[in-house]
Amino acid sequence: MTQLEHPVFDTTAFLATAGPGRRFVQLAPKQAIFLQGDPADSVFYLQRGRAKITVVSSAGKEATMLMLSSGEFLGEGALAEGATLRLSTATALTPCTVLKIKREEMIRVMREEKDFSEMFLKFLLARCLRTQADLVDQLFNSCEKRLARILLLMSELGEQGESKAVLPKISQETLAEMIGATRSRVSFFMNRFRKLGLIDYNGRIYVHNSLLNVVMNDQLPDDDMPAKPPIPAYARRQRMTGRQERFALPEIS
């Protein structure tokens, strides 16, 4: 008897169609894909649109952790052993189409289909590297450089090879949360980028590839570093003449 061959698994078709254990969900902008504290019972694949991941502290402070674009998974923490509740909130920024895959179905496909497992592993590694890069960026780069990097990641200019890309609608408050700065600081940097011809914005933000060149060449000055205090007049005279001068200190009452 001829042994029946295992049918070839098509990863692209799996993520583009509904079926047992998976269904499509259509979302409008600002609509939640899942909420922090919800049961962690499924993984989502963002087929179309943009989304963001946020976390709210026990004190009620919200922080934006990640911006997502089409072709990315979210809610993958549901696959972790012992995971019962969502640790973050995912919200649509633009009209989104997501494929909701039940946890059991996701685990089954990962065990049975090598190609899918390899693809998902590559995604997890890329997400891990991006998280590490975000941490390094937060620790060592200036606010201005962090903002430039976030704008570039959202524009995907490096991947598309275009000269200009439009970002989804995003507030300066959200950008401030992502780089650990104030809204007024973000506004200052955005105006500076616009004057330099690196971005355009009038309701929507347009990023030019010249911003990529500037960041890659590390040419953005650290404007958020504190300015050096001015040199007092007596110190300037001493530096120029080489003579020490005596000054009377004020009396302390």
- pLDDT value of position 121: 96
Q: Are 79 and 107 in contact (CB under 8 A)?
A: yes
215: Cβ contacts below 8 Å, ≥ 6 apart: 145, 148, 149, 152
* Residue-level pLDDT at 236: 42
Asked whether this chain's domains 12-138 and 141-216 adopt the same fold, the reply is: no
Residue 140, pLDDT score: 86
Flag whether the pTM goes above 0.85. Answer: no
The whole-number pLDDT of residue 35 equals 97
Strand order in the sheet with 62-68: 32-34, 89-92, 51-56, 62-68
* Per-10-residue mean pLDDT, the chain, length 253: 68 95 96 96 96 91 89 95 93 95 96 95 94 87 89 73 78 88 93 92 86 75 46 44 44 44
- Residue extents of the structural domains in the chain: 12-138, 141-216
Would you put residue 153 in left (φ > 0), alpha (ψ -120 to 50) or beta? alpha
Q: Which residues contact 192 (CB under 8 A, 6 or more apart)?
A: 144, 223
Q: What is the pLDDT of residue 253?
A: 42
Do residues 71 and 41 lie in contact, with contact meaning Cβ atoms separated by under 8 Å?
no
Assigned CATH topology for domain 12-138: Jelly Rolls (2.60.120)
As a whole number of angstroms, the distance between CA 238 and CA 63 comes to 50
pLDDT at 217: 72
How far is the C-alpha of 146 from the C-alpha of 139, rounded, in Å?
A: 10
Residue 70 confidence (pLDDT): 93
Tokens 């590297």 correspond to what residue?
Answer: 129
**pLDDT of res. 185:** 94
What is the model's pLDDT at position 19? 94
pLDDT score for 27: 97
The reported pLDDT for the residue numbered 221 is 58
Would you say domain 141-216 falls under CATH 3.40.190.10?
Answer: no
Report pLDDT for 5.
63
